[in-house]
């Protein structure tokens, strides 16, 4: 069985931004800046990853304009709640047929 990869939440947000702009994401997506200095193109949709130190989980979505920005931030000080979610998913999977299940279904978040 071929594994189906679902976009990460960051890619889903980037796709929504591109769609709202009437753009094709692949034409505007910037995933890294290694060695690049200076400003990005004004129509770029950038996704960056930073890992280090004792950061257990921090996610920031920035909507940046000239002289202002809107930030949506999630910070986890421990990985305990991630572990609780993994245990909850394992309990849901117990006794089910082998297969791929969307996480929204596992946690009862689907609209079906």
Residue 26 within a domain = yes
Residue 63 within a domain = no
pLDDT of residue 1: 41
Decide: 71 and 62 in contact? Cβ < 8 Å: yes
> What is the rounded distance in angstroms from the CA atom of residue 10 to the CA atom of residue 49?
10
Report the number of distinct structural domains present in the chain.
2
Query: Do 47 and 83 belong to one domain?
Result: no
Taking residues 40-53, report their average pLDDT: 81
pLDDT at 15 over 50: yes
Model confidence band, residue 83 (pLDDT cutoffs 50, 70, 90): very high
pTM over 0.75: no
- Burial tier of 28 (Cβ tally within 10 Å: 0-12, 13-18, 19+): middle
Decide: 18 and 25 in contact? Cβ < 8 Å: yes
Residue 68 within a domain = no
Query: Do 46 and 11 belong to one domain?
Result: yes
Domain that holds residue 20: 7-51
Residue 92 within a domain = yes
Model confidence band, residue 86 (pLDDT cutoffs 50, 70, 90): very high
Residue 70 within a domain = no
3-state secondary structure of 5: coil
pLDDT at 6 over 60: no
Q: Which residue has the higher pLDDT, 33 or 98?
A: 98
Residue 64 within a domain = no
């Amino acid at each position: 069985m071929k594994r189906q990869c679902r976009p990460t939440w960051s890619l889903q947000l980037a796709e929504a931004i591109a769609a709202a702009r009437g753009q094709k994401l692949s034409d505007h997506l910037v995933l890294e800046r290694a060695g690049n200095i200076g400003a990005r193109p004004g129509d770029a949709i950038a996704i960056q990853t930073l890992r280090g130190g004792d950061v257990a989980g921090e996610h920031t979505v920035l909507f940046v304009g000239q002289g202002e920005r809107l930030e949506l931030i999630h910070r986890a000080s421990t990985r305990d709640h991630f572990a609780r979610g993994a245990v909850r998913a394992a309990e849901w999977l117990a006794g089910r047929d082998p297969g791929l299940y969307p996480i929204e279904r596992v946690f009862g978040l689907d609209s079906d």
